[in-house]
Structure 1
């Protein structure tokens, strides 16, 4: 299991979801494509080894949806967590991360607190977006402002640049899998995106963060 998978597994997940990934999905995935065929029967046998953990297909789908929220699982536009995925092929995108340029070691070194001036490294941001399947690789002042403002409320939390960026990308993915926030957004696959989205100026971001953090 690579470092990207381990980082994702440390994000908020139920223990059952972690077990499903580590015991049922990752060992059976294709090393080159990251694909794995879902078998409810096999997963039930492995997870219910000592006690009954899951019994219904929708319970497995709920665990798979958890994993998708942190970028460990990806389904196609034609698939849905609301429908049966039994005997269907899904993808573990972080399994094939070695095909991409590995993040610079500097992104994994040095833990730091969140600050108003924080911005994701552009190359690292784009790479993680590609890994977890974020379609729209731009972000707005609202999106980064709310993210920074949230973490400013937890000054005791310290992460590396890679971890801060990974959390931001996964936050964007979650937002875009929900309802659109503006009339201009359109749905592509499972995500709502803004056509030709562009980055807002740093001044606008700083004003928004100061507003949320009560510094105005």
Structure 2
């Protein structure tokens, strides 16, 4: 999140529910290249059973919260071209951050997160999607945090995408089963391998 977003979220005319919707639903989805807000998912994200401040979300309330966010400039309607590509809205302040990505290098820190541009970076790294788990993000941050290396935001995102790509490859790589290992060992011991064709030994010429 950039400083302009942080300032906008402190607007006194913005409800706590609208802030929560942006921080915990709209913004994280944008980081994965998703610019849609399914009502059912919004309701699940906002619903809570807190004994102090319970909140029961509804489709009407969710739409009103979206209007709040648009009114303060955190969200904006998508253009016709963007809608044709599945984009329901824009995040103007996130777009401003993406334009400013080639900034000064910085060391990794605990609050680091990929920007909305990460979806494109993940695609270029060969990933099917820009999805990642909190555990994967924490592992990456903890590995680099405290090290002297500095990179700009785009370079850190590229390194993170490469790490995710390696992790995905390691998970899908076929593992050799114990049975196949036993067969391979037996074949090596006996000197007989799959596809082995014994060589014919030439016989000496017959003498009368």
Answer yes or no: same fold by TM over 0.5: no
* TM-score (normalised: structure 1): 0.37
Higher helix proportion:
2
* TM-score (normalised: structure 2): 0.39
